[in-house]
Amino acid sequence: METKNISALQQGYISCRHCHTLLNYQSNIKQYCPLCHSRVSPRIPHSVSRSWALLLSAFFLYIPANVLPIMSINKAGVVRTDTIMSGIIHLYNIEMQPIALIVFIASILVPLLKMLAVGIILLAIQLRWQDTVGLRSHLYHWVEFVGRWSMLDIFVISILLGVVKFSMASVSLEPAAFLFELVVILSMLSALQLDSRLIWDVDNDRD
């Protein structure tokens, strides 16, 4: 016989998201945690719509962040302007392949995969995809893990600036640098805004 998993909420319990205190759920009153005094609710109100808004904003900014110039290098009167990708290609051509690979992974691949992962989770929640709780769970844990390194892309660009300045060249940041920082911040906020408990709610709603 198949055993159906029952959530804590279905058993009448909720957890404080700040201090993780387990409380009896009372749907008819506003509840506050007795330990940290923060407002508790079964699920974060409008979590999916807010996460979508932040994620779509990050997606829209991701395109100009990669198309527009990110930095200009002035060396001996010769000015070179690069986008993220042209900078990666230039690093590869001047035999700095390890740095080129790190910049590609941190600045292009990881942010894109993170946004796609959050988008898949949100679609699964909204469209109530069944039998994908394992995939959703793995994606969410991956997003959480990557989130710890979300500022790595900015750190890599800072190192790159230091390498360029060490070669006796002057560097100036272009508009894409600011847009890229916004992409990182918005994607972080999108993942933080998502109430992860909704991932398992879809599976628990199955008859």
| All structural domains of the chain with their residue ranges | 1-42, 44-204
User: Angle between the 110-126 and 152-166 helix axes, to the nearest 10 degrees?
Assistant: 170
Tell me: pLDDT of 115 over 80.
yes
Tell me: pLDDT of 58 over 90.
yes
* pLDDT of the residue at 130: 64
3-state secondary structure of 41: coil
Report the range out of 77-86, 114-123, 198-207 with the highest average pLDDT.
114-123
* pLDDT of the residue at 206: 41
pLDDT, average across residues 72-87: 75
- Name the pLDDT band for 207 (thresholds 50, 70, 90): very low
What is the pTM (predicted TM-score) of this model?
Answer: 0.72
* Residue 169, phi then psi, degrees to nearest 5: -125, 150
Averaged pLDDT score across all residues of the chain: 76
The label of the residue with tokens 């679609």 reads 123
pLDDT, average across residues 95-105: 81
Picking from 26-40, 120-134, 159-173, which range would have the lowest pLDDT averaged per residue? 159-173
Correct CATH for 44-204 of 3.30.300, 3.30.1490, 1.20.140, 1.25.40: 1.20.140
Query: Given its phi and psi angles, is residue 83 left (phi above 0), alpha (psi -120 to 50 degrees) or beta?
Result: beta
pLDDT, average across residues 193-204: 70
- Name the pLDDT band for 159 (thresholds 50, 70, 90): low
CB distance 9 to 42 below 8 Å? yes
pLDDT, average across residues 57-76: 84
Of 170 and 90, which is predicted with more confidence? 90
Q: Which helix (H) or strand (E) covers residue 166, if one does? A: helix 152-166
* pLDDT of the residue at 199: 74
